[in-house]
Amino acid sequence: MRLVAFGVGYVGLVTGTGLAELGHDVLCVDIDPDRIAQLQDGVIPIYEPGLADLVRRNVRAGRLKFATDVMAPFDEADAYFIAVGTPPGPDGAADISAVLTVGDRIAQIAKKPALVVNKSTVPVGTCDAVQARVDKSKVTLEVVSNPEFLKEGTAVDDFFKPDRIVLGARSEHARETLRALYAPLQLSGERVVVTDPRSSELTKYAANTMLAIRVSFMNELARLCHATGADIHAVRMGVGSDARIGKRFLYAGPGYGGSCFPKDVQALFHLGRSHGVPMRLAEAAHLANEEQAHFLAHLVEGSVGALSGKTIALWGLAFKPETDDIREAPSVKLTHALLARGARVVAHDPEAGKNFAKAMTSQAGRVKVVDRDYDALDGAHALVLLTEWRSYRAPNFGEIRKRLLLADDGGPPVVIDGRNVWRPSEVTRAGLRYQGIGVPSIQPSPDRASTTALR
């Protein structure tokens, strides 16, 4: 098929490239000329494992092209994919103006009947609104909903090995066309869920919000564990052993972030309000997530004392491993909370350092990003792990102990494991105090602590 993808962000670039890999002729369009120029030169503007090689291979094969507008023969495409941003407005509601603008453009350029496939995350009824725009075209265009379920860091694998493919279409022609398009991804079994456009649109919001609720609830339970002396690990195992609940997404941490969960949760409860249906669980998940960064700041303060004038080291700035995305990342929220308490921040991340430094330009005198992970520890009063990159999972705790400062009372330095991935026994064996999320603080044995105090 001949296909056009509007938008070269995570969704549009991965989708367009993936479709080209399946043998289709694909044009990816974006209004940002610098980004298009980068892609034409083989430079990938986002970090996503496996994507760069995939893009370059399909460009060389002639199946993948990039442009700032649609040119012939792609004005006779079989399908136009909309994969542009729907950022939150001032009230948190999704801004679909870019989606509608693309709809208008498709209506202008399409020279033959085609499908208009919306992959952007949008409120219920957006397909109807786009359909009204493309009905002005001289050719017949049908708008369908095909929400993306790509996770940053594993987006390429998610495209080729999807859990499900949701198709919201009204006509049998649209359903069969999309089934044929995605047939190579279903050789091992049926993955297509066919529904109407409105149900498809709501499915994406429902899925992300349900996962966000699990994350926020576990973080609230972790805070309760700190207050009561319970252990979140034991609670997680006990709860997750229930087959009705399962063990996934039951880990306490610094809160969710990224381009999807925060935006989609807010969009869902604003959508509910606009229809007179309060989405109270969605609102509670959002509030709990916003509170988690402040809880983590209190945990740091409780571990090292008053933060004014102190330096806190952060490991991990991206909202999750295998991405350079810091949108709504816990690192950004925690940094602002620490700065408000008078602290300085020195940080490291394998991929997101430049994006974080750019976001913190106004705080350049109080926030520093270093190129090497252990260099962030020199002169710091505590280390906080925020993103569980592989390179952080088995660090040299002896080196960490040497570089961190002693506590105000001369006690051992402290590490705060914001992802609960380190073994407390290994941390304390090195002469460090361990503090996880939802678990008691653990001090090193007296002999280790005394060795630390003598250095």
Chosen domain end from 145, 163, 195: 195
Same domain, 97 and 126: yes
Same domain, 18 and 48: yes
| Domain assignment of residue 47, given as a range | 2-195
Q: How far apart are CA 104 and CA 127, in angstroms?
A: 13
Same domain, 62 and 211: no
CATH number at residue 106: 3.40.50.720
Cβ-proximal residues to 428 (8 Å cutoff; 6+ apart), any chain: 434, 442, 443, 444, 445, 448
- Both tokens of 133, joined, read 């725009």
* Interval 346-385: pLDDT, tens: 999 999 999 999 999 999 889 999 999 999 999 999 999 9
Chosen domain end from 195, 211, 246: 195
Q: Give the pLDDT of residue 187.
A: 83
Q: Give the pLDDT of residue 385.
A: 98
Same domain, 226 and 288: yes
Same domain, 200 and 336: yes
Q: Give the pLDDT of residue 308.
A: 95
CB 93 within 8 A of CB 271: yes
Query: How many structural domains are present in the chain?
Result: 2
- pTM (predicted TM-score): 0.91
Cβ-proximal residues to 362 (8 Å cutoff; 6+ apart), any chain: none
Q: Give the pLDDT of residue 62.
A: 95
Catalytic annotation present for 260: yes
Same domain, 47 and 106: yes
Cβ-proximal residues to 270 (8 Å cutoff; 6+ apart), any chain: 91, 92, 93, 94
Chosen domain end from 170, 195, 220: 195
Q: Give the pLDDT of residue 448.
A: 59
Answer whether residue 272 shows pLDDT above 90.
yes
Same domain, 50 and 139: yes
Same domain, 35 and 181: yes
Same domain, 132 and 264: no
Q: Which residue in 28, 127, 225, 260 is the catalytic one?
A: 260
